[in-house]
Amino acid sequence: MEPIGRVKSKFRKPEELHIACKKGRLFNAQSEIILASRNKKMLAGLEEFSHVWVIFHLHKADKVEAVTYPGPSRISGLPPVGVLASRSQYRPNHIALRLVQIIEVRGNSLKIMGLDAIDDSPVLDIKPYVPHFDMPASPKTAYWYEGWSDD
């Protein structure tokens, strides 16, 4: 896979983003995705959406875990789970997915809020959030993800 662009962020190291885990959907750091000049036309029409999914490479993740702790360290007693039942960065292919809010689309730049990526992370794809595709009618979530991200 070839990245379509790179993240421009104030975060330089993965450990700086533990706050994103703590805040969950309330994480509101702003960042920017700069597309390669040749990919500028790919952003056309994106300004009509409020949110996008960003798929990016966790290029500084330094290990893979089969089993992980599924929540922030401040919550005790959660069960160890398989990494695929978590949002851990230590995944088999170090690929991440995040729903973010669009602030501005300009030229080859996409300014966004809520991306938990470090500076220079390769962006693999961007897809618009479309409720009738992306929002299931009756989602079920494991108990270890219920409620802890809203404080």
For 25-45, the pLDDT digits (tens) are: 666 788 999 999 999 999 999
What value does the mean pLDDT of the chain take? 87
The Cα-based distances of 84 to 40, 52, 53, 57, 110 in angstroms read 33, 22, 19, 16, 29
- Round the CA-based radius of gyration of the chain to a whole number and report it: 16
Q: What total of structural domains would you count in the chain?
A: 1
Q: Is the pLDDT of residue 151 over 50?
A: no
Task: Please check whether residue 135 lies inside any domain of the structure.
Answer: no
Task: Name which residue leads in pLDDT, 18 or 121.
Answer: 121
Task: Please check whether residue 145 lies inside any domain of the structure.
Answer: no
- CB count within 10 Å of CB 98 equals 18
Under the banding of pLDDT at 50, 70 and 90, the label for residue 74 is: confident
CA distance 43 to 87: 27
Task: Please check whether residue 119 lies inside any domain of the structure.
Answer: yes
**Residue 51 belongs to domain with CATH number:** 2.40.30.70
Which domain, by its residues, includes 108?
Answer: 5-129
Task: Please check whether residue 140 lies inside any domain of the structure.
Answer: no
